[in-house]
Structure 1
C-alpha cells in the first residue's frame, strides 16, 4: 500500500462509486460547532458506507478463478454490505458472518441482496475466525476489512476526494474500527498536506489502536464492551498499526452515548441518517474529546448510514 496505490485505486473504482458531497455544518441550533466544520457524507455512498471503495478495489483486482467460489466476509455490518453488493454485481455468492451485536437493519439489507447471513460470536474477532475457516473449507475468497492492501487503498480514496473538495483542512477526525480507513486516509493526507493533524476516534469500549499506541505494539483487547458493532475490533493488523503510528497524531476515546447524541443531532438538524460510527467525528467534537483551535478548518465524515438517530 502506498500513495500511488491509493491514487490508482481512485481511478479504478471511479465508475462504480459515487463522489459523495461535503457538507459544511452551519445553522445548527442543537450544538455549538466550529465555524469551519465539514462532513463528507459517505452515508450516501453505494451500499451505504465508505466500505464499498475497498470492496470494489479488491474485487476488480481479482482473477476470475479467485471469484468463482464466491466471497466471504466477517463484519459488524458495513463491510458485509459492501461485500454482498459486489458479489451480487459480480454474479457470485456472498456469505457474511456477523457478530450478535450487529444491527438487525443491516442484516435485513444483507438478506435482501441475497447474502447468506450467519452469526458467530459476540464480537467481530469471533465472526472473523469463523468466516476464515468457512472460506478455507469452500474455496471462497475472504474479504478482510483491513488486513488487505487493496481494501485499505480503496478506503484511502475517501481522502483523495476530500482534499479536492475542501482544500487546506487543518484537522481531520476519523472513526476507527480495525483501522483501515484512517490508515489509508492518513497516507494520502500527510503526503499532500503534511501539516494537517489527523485524530482517530474509538469507543471507550473498544480502544483498539489507542491501547496499541499506549503499549508501543499491537495488543489484543481483553474485552470489548461497546455496542457499536462497526467499531468493535479486539486486535488490529501489524501493518495497519505501523502506518498509523507514522501518520496519526492522536486517538481519542468517546462513549457510545456520545455517538448516540451526535446521530440524533445529525438527523434532527440536518436530516442525515447516520449509524453510530458515522456520528463519531461529530461526537468527538460535541463531547470535547477533540478541542478545536480558533480558526481551524476541520473535516470529518459520516462513514456509514443507519437509523440510530431517527428515534429521537
Structure 2
C-alpha cells in the first residue's frame, strides 16, 4: 500500500497547506500521568483542528482539475469532515460531508463555516459512509475516504516522521484509533526509522475495532458500536490497511469514554490545550495505567484533535 518514501513525499507535497506542529514537553504538570518524559505533538493546532488536515491535503494535491471541479464528498465523525471542507474551500470547489447523528454541534457548525454542505445520515460512521459513497456515485463528486486511501494514510504518516525528526529518543508513541489510518501511517514511518520504538493504539471500550481484529488476526466487524466519541466510532477497518497495521502496531489498549473526557479536562487544566476526547485518548491510556512508561523513557503522544473547552463536561 505505502512505505516510508510515500510518507516522505507527502511531507514535501503538503508543506504549503499544513503546519509543522510543535512537540511540547509535558513538564511541570500538577498531576503527572507518567513517570517517563512526556512529549505532546500538538496536532490540535492544525488549520482544521486535527491531523486529518495532512491526509486530506495529500489527497487534494493528487487530484486532476476535472476531479476537483466535480466537488468533494466524505463521511466523518467530525475531524476528517473539517479537513475535507477546508480543502474544498482552499480549492474553491463544493464539498458535501456526511456525518453520524452523534457528531458534536460545534463540529457541524465549523464544517458549515468552511462552506461545506452537511448531511446527517445514520447512527454511526459506517452508515454515514454509505451515504457518502452513494452520493459520490450519483453526483460524481470525488470521494475522500477517512482512513483507507493510501494518499490519506501517507499524509497522516507525516506526524510520525516529524515526531522522529524532533525527538529521535522517543521510546513509545501512543495514538488514538478510529479506523486505523493514522496509527498505520505514523507507525510505518516510525518503525522504518526506529524499529525498536513501540507503537500503541488507544480505542474506546465501545469501539474496539483494531483490538478485536489484532486478537483474531483478521479483520473483525463489530456487531455494535456504543462509544459516545464519534471520531473514534468505526465498526470495521479496511482489509488492505489492516495488512500494514498488524506489521507496525505493537498493542492496542481500551479506555472508557469517561477516561478520555477526564484526560481532555487534564490537558486544559495543565497546559491550556483545548482537545476533543479523541485528542486526549493517549493521555487517558497513560492516566489509567493501560500504558505504563518508566522513568528514563520518553513517550510522545499526538494531541490529535481540537475541541471547545466549554463542551467538555466539568469545565
* TM-score for both structures, normalised by structure 2: 0.97
Tell me the CA shift for residue 268 of structure 1.
1.0
Is residue 227 of structure 2 the alignment partner of residue 230 of structure 1? no
Moved over 4 A (4+): none
Cα pair 1:220 1:234 within 8 Å, conserved: yes
Aligned to 1:166: 167
Alpha-carbon separation, structure 2, partners of 1:18 and 1:32 = 27
Aligned to 1:242: 243
Tell me the CA shift for residue 16 of structure 1.
1.2
Cα pair 1:67 1:141 within 8 Å, conserved: yes
Map 1:1-312 to 2 at 5 A: 1-307=2-308, 308-309=311-312, 311-312=314-315
Tell me the CA shift for residue 280 of structure 1.
0.5
Tell me the CA shift for residue 105 of structure 1.
0.3
Alpha-carbon separation, structure 2, partners of 1:32 and 1:79 = 28
Alpha-carbon separation, structure 2, partners of 1:310 and 1:61 = 40
Alpha-carbon separation, structure 2, partners of 1:50 and 1:266 = 17
Alpha-carbon separation, structure 2, partners of 1:35 and 1:204 = 25
Gaps of 5+ in 2: none
Alpha-carbon separation, structure 1, partners of 2:231 and 2:33 = 27
Tell me the CA shift for residue 15 of structure 1.
1.2
Per-residue CA deviation, residues 74-128 of structure 1 (Å, 9 max, x unaligned), is: 0000000000000011111000000001111000001111111000011100000
Q: CA distance change for structure 1 residues 32 and 235 in 2, over 3 Å: closer, same or farther?
A: closer
How many pairs align? 312
Alpha-carbon separation, structure 2, partners of 1:142 and 1:169 = 36
Cα pair 1:70 1:93 within 8 Å, conserved: yes
Q: Output the aligned Cα RMSD.
A: 1.0
Q: Which moved more, 1:297-306 or 1:161-170?
A: 161-170
Gaps of 5+ in 1: none
Cα pair 1:273 1:309 within 8 Å, conserved: no
Cα pair 1:17 1:46 within 8 Å, conserved: yes
Alpha-carbon separation, structure 2, partners of 1:203 and 1:17 = 28
